[in-house]
Amino acid sequence: MTILVIAEHDNKVLAPATLNTVAAAAKIGGDIHVLVAGQGAGAVAEAAAKVAGVAKVLVADNAAYAHQLPENVAPLVAELGKGYSHILAAATSNGKNILPRVAAALDVDQISEIISVESADTFKRPIYAGNAIATVQSNASVKVITVRATGFDPVAAEGGSAAVEAVAAAHNAGISSFVGEELAKSDRPELTAAKIVVSGGRGMQNGDNFKHLYALADKLGAAVGASRAAVDAGFVPNDMQVGQTGKIVAPQLYIAVGISGAIQHLAGMKDSKVIVAINKDEEAPIFQVADYGLVADLFEAIPELEKLV
């Protein structure tokens, strides 16, 4: 068995989610190869070669792969992937965008967002917004799988010494092009990788009030998230959204402030180790999953909490 892991990167840095994906590959067992498809992504390839457990790094360097356009990257992965037993990618927006296109090209079903490996052909994944866990078995010749990063502890980023090999194949479907992107800037830790996450909901009342959460987060070294209500109300940008349709997080500590705890929000955070809820409505569903609940006005509780931690 040889497993192909698609590296998640921005042509400069190997994204941490790749380390969780390699960890899932290691649980399946067999040789692990990592594909770095991009443009001028030499540093990413070097970083991938150092990842513990990786046997080989394939580098496909071509302008067509610069922005991870699925119309170009998916045919490359499908072509290379034919020789592998498994193709894995992180369940990031990139992985979700590209991998189903690979699966269809290979005429196999895909298994999305696995949270555990039961055996080489059997995996567990959440369905119905995490309210049920399905065990799925695949008899496909190539098993195409996306991996939920929070389901697997990352492997070490150092210690490996894989061979790096260039891949000549260039696919350019010519049906799509990159126009531009607008990335939100933040100095705080990345939401999905943070050990502590402080999230605000509709109860924050406006975007300006999020400054209280930022102050608390900076003191704790935490990332700041939000519920869909807070995003839809325009308090914060949508890449901060935690939930079924946003990001899935599983930090050591999740502090939900002014969040009622709808099913869709819980789907994104209920695997956190410790959950704290601060809400003035003692009937809010968030208290049913919270390890520690505080019924209080957040505008009094948050500044006090910031002082005490």
Q: Measured from the CB of residue 3, what is the shortest distance to another protein in angstroms? A: 17
Within 72-101, the residues that bind another protein by CB under 8 A are 74, 92-94, 96-101
Which of 53/70 has CB closer to another protein? Answer: 70
Q: Measured from the CB of residue 262, what is the shortest distance to another protein in angstroms? A: 9
The H or E element containing residue 123 is strand 122-127
| Interface with another protein: number of residues (CB under 8 A) | 88
From the CB of residue 12, how many other CB atoms can be counted at a distance below 10 Å?
12
Q: Which residue in the set 83, 166, 169, 252 belongs to the binding site for another protein (CB under 8 A)? A: 252
State phi, psi for 141 to the nearest 5 degrees: -65, -40
- 168 near another protein (CB under 8 A): no
Q: Of the candidates 13, 11, 12, which has an alpha carbon nearest to the alpha carbon of residue 193?
A: 13
Within 101-130, the residues that bind another protein by CB under 8 A are 101-105, 107-113, 122, 126-130
Q: Of the candidates 71, 98, 84, which has an alpha carbon nearest to the alpha carbon of residue 141?
A: 84
- 153 near another protein (CB under 8 A): no
Which of 215/263 has CB closer to another protein? Answer: 263
Q: Which amino acid is at 124?
A: K
Within 271-290, the residues that bind another protein by CB under 8 A are 273-276, 282, 287, 289-290
Q: Which residue in the set 120, 140, 157, 164 belongs to the binding site for another protein (CB under 8 A)? A: 140
Q: Of the candidates 123, 128, 130, 127, which has an alpha carbon nearest to the alpha carbon of residue 146?
A: 123
Q: Which two tokens stand for residue 63?
A: 């302008």
Q: Measured from the CB of residue 229, what is the shortest distance to another protein in angstroms? A: 12
Q: By three-state DSSP, how is residue 40 classified?
A: coil
Q: Which residue in the set 153, 177, 208, 283 belongs to the binding site for another protein (CB under 8 A)? A: 177
CB contact at 8 A, 111 and 123:
yes
